Structures are given as structure tokens and as C-alpha cells.
Structure 1
Amino acid sequence: MVELRTKSTEAICRFLLEDVICRYGCVGKITANRGELDTKEAREFFQRYGVKLALTIVYNLEGNAKSERGRPPIVKALVKAYNGRAKEWPRLLPFALWVDRTTHSLVTRYMPAELMQGQKPIMPVEKQVPTWNVLPWKDNLTREELLQLCIRQLEQRFEMCRLL
């Protein structure tokens, strides 16, 4: 989890570049409220990186209900898991969110993390009981060679998305 020190347009755009685009690749569309991203600088940033920016209307009861639909199950799970001990929640919220992101959706039939990353996330149990996800497929390459190949792949991917 990344903490932004300020809510400035510059800080948000830097976060999106460094912690979203550089981690997960191309982003086709970002929906945001009319706050810090409703600026000329933000529009230029999104245009430069080929991302469509969709700004919400000021208040939309139906739209807000859809975006907040996932919160009640997480809150209820925290309450039940810790018998209402609210002091534990801040420490456990990242784990609850992780479980939510790695649980298959009945609607999409995919994990949210899988949709975001384009592959199934590696679970801690896979370190103890190896699966296809964690087998050393690239044993014949040095780390430098593997990194070099990955950098080239990213470069091609970013060029395809007009990010460089």
C-alpha cells in the first residue's frame, strides 16, 4: 500500500506512473472524481501515456452504489473474524483486501488481482508446495539475461501503448 503525502495532481500522476503503469503495464481507462485529476496537467499526463480519463459527475447515487458494492462484505468479514475488535482492523485491513482481491468473482469468474495483473497471483502456499506458477522455467538464463529480456519486453509493450 502506498501513502501519498499530498493530494496534488503531480503526486497522483507520479503514483499512477510509478506504481500502476510501471508495475502492471498499460491502463486503458481511469475513472476519477472531479478532484485533483480535473486539471490541464492531469489531462496532458493521461494523453501522453495513452490513458483515457473518465471524470465522474458530481454526484450519482447509482454510480456510487456500484463502486461501493464490495465494501460491506469486507467490513462484515472483519467484524466476524475479530469479534468486533475494531482496534485490530487497521492492521488487518490490507490482508482482508488481499483476500478479496485473490478470491474469484461470481460475476467475472476471475480474481480481481488476475484481471489487474493479467496472470494469477502467486500465493504464499505456492512457495511451500510449488505449482506451475513458481517453477524455475528460466534456469538456463542468468539473472542479468532474464532481466534484460524482461526489460526489452516491457519496452516493446510500452511502445505499443505509446508510453515511451
Structure 2
Amino acid sequence: MLFNPSVADVRRYFCGIWNKHQNGTPMEPLEMVAWEWIRQHPEYHEELADVNRALEAEYSPEAGRSNPFLHLSLHLAISEQRAIDQPRGIREAMDVLERQLGSAHDAAHQAQECLVEALWQSQRHGRPLDASAYVNALRQRAGLPPVQG
């Protein structure tokens, strides 16, 4: 996937993974991680099945529609963060939350809430994402001490 994908790129990427699954086409390692999150979200399968409709879709809170591509992108980003423990301390927080909640999916949703808040704060104040605040918010939810520096 690209480092700075457009909205259309992201939508094509996830629809392409759905298509590969439907056709039994082999997937790249990152696509397999994305497929696991897609599999756990059957409510998105219909939207992923039609790339043209996905490219035209509008998602707004006012319309009461959550954006499946944003949600899946966050899952994928957090999976990668956890795998490489960046920001430092996220892996431990996710491991603890997974044990506490009994679900990697529920732990990932906790991380999504923290990441979305950090992104919102970054945009609101016009500054880079505060990775330390993000990971420490997640660690707080897990009952862990903050990571210093």
C-alpha cells in the first residue's frame, strides 16, 4: 500500500482484498492482516463487494453511516503499531487489554478510540500527532503506568 494513499486508494485496497478473498486469490502478508479485520466486520462485506459504489459513497455522522474504510484502516494501522511496538509501550497495553477484555478485537477498538482522540487533538491544534499522549491514554485504559520519553 502507499505511504500517503488517497481516499480512493484506500477504498480500492480494501475492496481488492475482498475480491481476492472471494476469488481465492493469494494475498500479500499485509493483505492477510487486513483480511482478518474484514472477516471480523461482516457488516462491511456488502460495501466492500462493489468498488464503484465504494468510491462514490459518502460517510458522515449526520447520515448515521460509519466509514468502514476508516475503521478498517485504523485496525490495520494499530495492528502494525502493535507488531513493531511503535509507539513504544503500545504492545504491552494491547496485550493487557486483550487479556482484560478477552478479545483482541475489543482491545483494538480501545486503541482506535485513543488514536482518534490523538488525531483530533493534532488537527485541532495544528501540530503533529502526540504519539506519547496516544500510547499513554491507551496504557491508562489498561491500568499501566505511562511510558516516559
Fold match by TM threshold 0.5: no
TM-score range, shorter chain: under 0.3
**More strand as a share of residues:** 1
Larger radius of gyration: 1
- Structure with the bigger RCO (C-alpha within 8 Å, sep 6+) is 1
**More helix as a share of residues:** 2
TM-score by length of 2: 0.23
